[in-house]
Chain A
Amino acid sequence: MPVISEKELQPVYDVIVVGSGAGGGQTAYTLTMNGVKVLMLEAGRYYDPLTETPMFQSRAQAPLRGMSTREKPFGFHDATVDGGWEVPGEPYTQASDNPAQRFDWWRARMLGGRTNHWGRISLRNGPYDFKPRSRDGLGFDWPMTYEEVAPWYDKAEMLVGVYGSNEGLENTPDSPEGCLLPPPKARAGELYVKKHVAKFGIPVIPIHRAILSVRQDFEKLPSKLHPGNARAQRILAESMKARAACFWATDCGRGCSIRANYQSTTVHLPPALATGNLDILCDAHVHTVTVGKDGKADGVTYIDKKTGKERGVKGRAVVLAASSGETARILLNSRSARHPAGLGNSSGLVGKYIMDTVGAKLGGSVPAFENLPVHNEEGAGTHVYIPWWLYKEQHAGKLGFARGYHIEFGTGRRMPGLGAGSAGPGYGKAYKEEVRLRYGAGIGFAGRGEMIPNENSFCELDPSVKDKWGIPVLRFHWKWSEHELKQAVHMEQTFAMMIEAIGGKVRKPATDGAKAIEPGGSIIHEVGGAIMGDDPRKSVTNRWHQLWDVPNVVLNDGSAFCSNADKNPTLTIMALAWRSSEHLIEEMRKGNL
């Protein structure tokens, strides 16, 4: 079974997986390794990082020196194709004209989805993050604990390959021996920050990222991940052997043709295809889950984007991993006499409680970094970060906002881009000297914080606007609460404090949260919209992300998240998709679905 054309579809599959990113990729991997026959439907085109990735291209080899454009928002060489905050022919709308109430929705219509370009930051949610309401009375508790999820984090880390270290810090879980790969060394500027912010109690530690700092242990890991399954072990060992270690050049956001970082297309899908149990159909835009007379889901309806025709395909179970927004849209569009408000929506909560990550940033120039002896500082992007360090102060109510953030920052002489010569005034030799002096003498801090789900941030079907195939589109409502706005101010103030602590020059930090915070959707950590829980009246899915109303529909993207910790969601999506896929297999074996 391979990447197929429409004519090669089987009449019925065990499981139809909608979406091919982190959630869909992990689901297809887990199911097919266990012998389940899977059809994966991807709304975008086929994409092959091995042949399409721009490795080593200079910005001078890109149009407009790689400038960020409407069509390529992260610059020309970013891996994303047919994606961004706008997708031609596939609009979405805003309920309000107020810029503070916008939600900008990033989509990537390509095989592997957003995993092709993401930041690869792979942090575990900690014990507090699964029980936030119990801790501070806000938002929702997850219907499981960190301890229940931890073994799945272990598996996900071992499978995809994550570099990092164990630091024993509060709510920043350590991984068991053998899970993590060694972290790369910190850069000079990062060590300098570490030294000078220690007095504030701010820790600078190796970050966790899904990048092979060394090759994976293909002799030990497969048997740990697939005990008793010799065939799966063999297939995984082959896949791991085919992945090279990072060679510390070429921005990860371009994708990786040597498979050194995690993309669904280089890590999840090759072994899943090698099982012979996976068919992948691209350019297949699913818009509804179909329901049989027995009330169970029996397949999906999709638009074949190559012909514009509507098609259907049957499956015994359906996994939606289309991205939170798209999953909510599919559920809301799956209206029937039995499910008049959309599939799985008896609670009325489909589309509700959507979340992004709180973002704020501040940069400065650092005289100490000027004239740093030249050496190769490229590495693999982010090497270190600052985990949230004020749990105790926050819990004691001293901060005025309820949830934490982590800090990512960048220093060093990286590949020059537009604005590389931002010096002046003047020209000629003196100007060039000044450019040299300033290049690499800057620092940029970015905060990534937890947003608490709220009643005012949700999506619904637009009553009139449809996409080019006539499918109703999403309309977004968005509002930050004081917790997020105050958190963004705290971020900027902290960044300014740190920049000053290293002798840098920085603008005055914002005191108005609305000015400090980046617009909703900017950080592309969209989760929620079909939250899980223990009570069918107050949640859309159970703890295995099965729709309460239709248990053979499982949501394996971030849509079932009922909180959005500052830890970037992708690793959690993978861990939970693995866990729920094994549960799905069990349920199918028992005949419960």
Chain B
Amino acid sequence: MDNQHSESLRRMDRREVLRWIGGAAAAAAAASRLPVGEAQTSARIGRQTGAPGPGGARIGSDPILNKNYSPGDLWPLTLDAARRRAAAALCDLILPPEPGDKRPSELGVPDFIDEWISSPYDETSKDRPVIVDGLAWIDAESGRRFGGKAFADLAEAQQCAIADDICGKKSVKTEFKTAQRFFERFRWLAASGYYTTPQGWKDIGYVGNVPTIEFAGPTPEALRHLGLI
């Protein structure tokens, strides 16, 4: 998936997004008042609010499994253009491409993050304010430090100056603690989005998902590495 494709994904306009967030909050509040017997859920996945996604969509219990999905197929994406630019720039800073590889923003990674925070599940929707506010913060911080520029328009060294303050590599000042939480969650999402793509597989050292006649087992080099031969 490249940028061009990314532009064609199904999105929600700002007014609809606001309406959806309001509706989801109301549904969550209503669900929390359900009696025990009605709110029957699995201990494994925790109690869910059942708040609907934008357009009321969820994955559903019987989706077509052997179809290739893109972000936006099941529910519209909700990040606005400015946040998408910031997300793309941050993905590319966190996961710089190896020589000859594409940037994460060219592989649809920001769209995955958008899909995630636009989705109706408890595990995902709790990330929505963290990511949306964090992306707004990073643009505001860029503007404050570097003459009104957006994060995506900064030179790499300028982007790093901000990232270094919030990434946790060195001790993070109190004023940046919220930004640090955003950065850590964003990095988890960006890496999850990236390493699940075929380029990410190659990058991380995953060479499976190919049919073979026999399972060859460990190579002699691997066995030597572990002192097994």
A58 within 8 A of B: yes
Stretch from B15-23, B145-153, B196-204 at the A interface? B196-204
Nearest chain-B residue to A439 (Cβ)? B204
A76 contacts B205, C-beta separation under 8 Å: no
Judged by DSSP, the binding face of A is loop
Nearest chain-B residue to A255 (Cβ)? B65
Binary interface encoding of chain B residues 92-104 relative to chain A, with 1 for a CB under 8 A from any of its CBs, else 0: 0111100000000
A81 to B196, CA, bound (A): 23
A186 to B207, CA, bound (A): 17
A355 to B159, CA, bound (A): 57
The smallest beta-carbon distance between B181 and chain A, in angstroms, is: 12
B40 contacts A249, C-beta separation under 8 Å: no
A191 contacts B218, C-beta separation under 8 Å: yes
Known A-B contacts: A63-B63, A248-B212, A416-B204. Give 17 more (CB < 8 A): A52-B66, A58-B197, A60-B112, A61-B68, A69-B59, A70-B41, A104-B43, A188-B222, A191-B226, A247-B213, A376-B212, A420-B192, A421-B188, A422-B188, A425-B168, A426-B168, A432-B203
Nearest chain-B residue to A194 (Cβ)? B228
Q: Which residues of B contact A70 (CB under 8 A)?
A: 41-42, 45, 48, 50, 121
A169 within 8 A of B: no
A63 contacts B226, C-beta separation under 8 Å: no
A102 contacts B119, C-beta separation under 8 Å: no
A77 to B228, CA, bound (A): 35
Give chain B interface residues in 113-127, CB to chain A under 8 Å.
115-116, 119, 121, 123-124
Known: A64-B115, A187-B217, A375-B216. A76 touches B59 (CB 8 A): yes
Q: Which residues of A contact B228 (CB under 8 A)?
A: 188, 191-192, 195
Stretch from A87-95, A217-225, A577-585 at the B interface? A87-95
Q: Which of B124, B188, B194, B217 has the most CB of A within 10 A?
A: B217
The smallest beta-carbon distance between A78 and chain B, in angstroms, is: 8
Q: Which residues of B contact A375 (CB under 8 A)?
A: 207, 216, 218-219, 221-222
Give how many B residues have a beta carbon under 8 Å from the other chain's beta carbons.
79
Stretch from A9-17, A144-152, A365-373, A397-405 at the B interface? A365-373
Binary interface encoding of chain A residues 20-62 relative to chain B, with 1 for a CB under 8 A from any of its CBs, else 0: 0000000000000000000000000100000111111111111
The smallest beta-carbon distance between A311 and chain B, in angstroms, is: 23
Give chain A interface residues in 418-469, CB to chain B under 8 Å.
418-429, 431-432, 435-436, 439-440, 465
A558 within 8 A of B: no
B54 within 8 A of A: no
Q: List B residues at the A interface (Cβ < 8 Å).
A: 36-38, 40-45, 48, 50, 58-66, 68-69, 73-74, 93-96, 108, 112, 115-116, 119, 121, 123-124, 160, 163, 167-169, 183-184, 187-188, 190-198, 200-201, 203-219, 221-223, 225-226, 228
A561 within 8 A of B: no
Contact of B37 among A55, A67, A93 (CB under 8 A): A93
Q: Which residues of A contact B163 (CB under 8 A)?
A: 427
17 pairs, A vs B, C-beta closer than 8 Å: A55-B66, A64-B59, A64-B119, A70-B42, A70-B50, A71-B60, A88-B61, A91-B40, A191-B226, A247-B211, A247-B213, A376-B216, A417-B192, A420-B195, A421-B190, A427-B94, A428-B94
Q: Which residues of A contact B212 (CB under 8 A)?
A: 247-249, 376
A154 within 8 A of B: no
Q: List A residues at the B interface (Cβ < 8 Å).
A: 45, 51-73, 76-77, 79, 81-88, 91-94, 97, 99, 102, 104, 184-189, 191-192, 195, 213, 246-250, 254, 368-369, 371-380, 413-429, 431-432, 435-436, 439-440, 465, 519, 522
A71 contacts B58, C-beta separation under 8 Å: yes
A63 contacts B207, C-beta separation under 8 Å: no
The smallest beta-carbon distance between A81 and chain B, in angstroms, is: 4
Known: A61-B69, A81-B61, A425-B169. A67 touches B124 (CB 8 A): yes
Judged by DSSP, the binding face of B is loop
A413 contacts B208, C-beta separation under 8 Å: yes
Q: Which residues of A contact B73 (CB under 8 A)?
A: 63
The smallest beta-carbon distance between A16 and chain B, in angstroms, is: 26
Q: Which residues of A contact B183 (CB under 8 A)?
A: 427
A416 contacts B196, C-beta separation under 8 Å: yes
A213 to B205, CA, bound (A): 25
Contact of B201 among A53, A54, A189, A416 (CB under 8 A): A416
A86 contacts B42, C-beta separation under 8 Å: yes
A14 to B221, CA, bound (A): 61
Nearest chain-B residue to A213 (Cβ)? B215
Q: Which residues of A contact B116 (CB under 8 A)?
A: 64
Known: A85-B41, A248-B214. A71 touches B196 (CB 8 A): no
A85 contacts B68, C-beta separation under 8 Å: no
Known: A380-B215, A416-B200. A53 touches B61 (CB 8 A): no
A14 to B139, CA, bound (A): 73
Contact of B198 among A45, A58, A436 (CB under 8 A): A58
The smallest beta-carbon distance between B45 and chain A, in angstroms, is: 6
A427 contacts B187, C-beta separation under 8 Å: yes
B197 contacts A60, C-beta separation under 8 Å: yes
A372 contacts B222, C-beta separation under 8 Å: yes
Known: A68-B45, A71-B60. A376 touches B208 (CB 8 A): yes
Known: A84-B61, A373-B222, A429-B96. A73 touches B192 (CB 8 A): no
